Chains A and B, each alone.
Chain A
């Protein structure tokens, strides 16, 4: 028995080494090549709305619109990553900050708003960021001193309360919402406006630029003193406190900064929509943001961006797809899952039973979508695949937590933390 487990472990180490090759391969390339590849990739991203590449393009919904939404999700995932991935705080009300940002732009900028200030867009954006940040600080103040799970529930409530407040406040347009949200300035060569309702492409480029900025800022932040303090807090808050890290202040910073990015995303969203009402901000969206961060890899900027793409883009692509492609998608998903499960880095106490469990889970996952799709009374048509998305991402949250809490593209630091903890399991725990 022991021999068998040891052989498994050896094989596992070889697999783990194999699975790490993309990272090493990339790091091994000469610098100019890497730089060139990055520039080419960036150019590809910028050109996406013009290229409308065949397999990627969504057929049922406007591709550029989808790209913009994906961009907003990326921005949100990056902001939420500061809170969840870097500082290790669970914020379940991110949509609340998103809504605060959106409403700020609408209330201060729209000519239809009761406030009638009609500030231009460029003024509204900093206001929106500031208000979201302050609301983050107000919410975080009483809760961040307490246990982490209190924060989770309070933020979850906050997300819904913002919506309810909007429904009940005349100033916020009540249930009817606020139209004529201001749009960014800028003109084309022919003198017409650059940012219009008809053409989303400029909005997409704007969000792309902001993602770039936030990624850069995030990278600097992580390396700074603040970033190191966050890691210390995440690993062991008590120890960090004992070492003299003012944990409360740093947690509040993380929370407020996350809120600010959320507000910015919401502001962009509102400008693009030009009309918002409380229905634009359902609570579940917070959980989708969270799913993006967790699936991608909390703590890793590229991970969470990948997560956001999965969460925001995949359902849109699947919404309108012909049968042949669906099969291809689905088969590659299952294959990817299987490959991944085989390649995944195993915990120190994994045994044959773990494989059995993995097999069962993979089987259920693989069988679920066709089963659900085969029930015509539940799904009149495949067009309603969007209804499945919360279920799927809910499942993904559990599966990731159980099998790969570090995410698809993990932050190396967090992966090590998780592995170290796994060694501290009480005896008998695998039985």
Chain B
């Protein structure tokens, strides 16, 4: 059974429809990516998954449990953690406190904190250098690393990443994707939203393409990479 199963999910902002009858699944251990142009509804889907945005219709199941109307904090306890898009950090807290917030919902945080911090600092040495600095004073790229690191601190079963490569230098993007694969190999299931379709498709087991709120194509990462219409629309290759 799939770890995450979304059926016919629709989301509205007031009277505006942002996501329309989207269905997708993520199996345990997979990396699945969701790609689409600006405004396609990717962030909206992620917010609905984490419980920040109400769902107008459809169902979300996690590990067999219906979580469609579950409170956001309870979803974190179930094992869903998200690194949100943009500046999702706590600006007034130090980098270290931000990371500690990632483990807020874990009962065993006292036992795992040191090791998890070490792991994040190994993945992102920049954060270690700045661990006492206030989150709000980090550069955009550093904040991006902080949100990813913070999500890892929760040791999630399902990691939701909303455009982790946004605002990062190309070299760093390469590193981030390597890190994601590494995390995945260590047992974390990943749902990845990306603009950077080429990279995303190359690391993903499977992919969905979202266009104005609806899924228009799905397949394995490599199949979509080879699909001529996808190449034309999302990879900028004729």
Contact = CB atoms under 8 A, between A and B. Distances in A.
A24 interface: no
A426 B14 contact: no
Query: Sorted from nearest, which 5 A-B pairs have the closest CB atoms?
Result: A428-B71, A427-B51, A427-B69, A420-B14, A428-B70
Given A428-B51, A428-B74, A423 B69 contact: no
Contact of A427 (B13, B14, B55): B55
Contact of B71 (A420, A424, A427): A427
Nearest to A431: B71
Contacts of A420: 14-15
A426 B52 contact: yes
A370 to B, nearest CB: 40
A307 B52 CA distance: 38
Nearest to A430: B69
B69 A428 contact: yes
Contacts of B72: 426-428
B68 interface: yes
Interface in A381-431: 420, 423-431
Interface residues of B, number: 16
Given A427-B55, A428-B74, 16 more contacts: A420-B14, A420-B15, A423-B14, A423-B56, A424-B13, A426-B51, A426-B52, A426-B54, A426-B71, A426-B72, A427-B51, A427-B68, A427-B72, A428-B51, A428-B69, A429-B71
A21 B71 CA distance: 39
A423 B12 contact: yes
A138 to B, nearest CB: 36
A420 B68 CA distance: 20
27 contacts: A420-B14, A420-B15, A423-B12, A423-B54, A424-B13, A424-B54, A425-B54, A426-B51, A426-B53, A426-B71, A426-B72, A427-B51, A427-B54, A427-B55, A427-B68, A427-B69, A427-B70, A427-B71, A427-B72, A428-B51, A428-B69, A428-B70, A428-B72, A428-B74, A429-B71, A430-B69, A431-B71
Contacts of A428: 51, 69-72, 74
A424 B14 contact: yes
Contacts of A425: 54
A415 to B, nearest CB: 15
For A423, A425, A428, the residue with the greatest tally of chain B CB atoms inside 10 Å of its CB is A428
Contacts of B69: 427-428, 430
B97 to A, nearest CB: 25
Interface string B48-69: 0001111110000000000011
B71 to A, nearest CB: 3
Nearest to A429: B71
Contacts of A423: 12, 14, 54, 56
Contacts of B70: 427-428
A430 B54 CA distance: 12
Interface in A287-336: none
Contacts of A431: 71
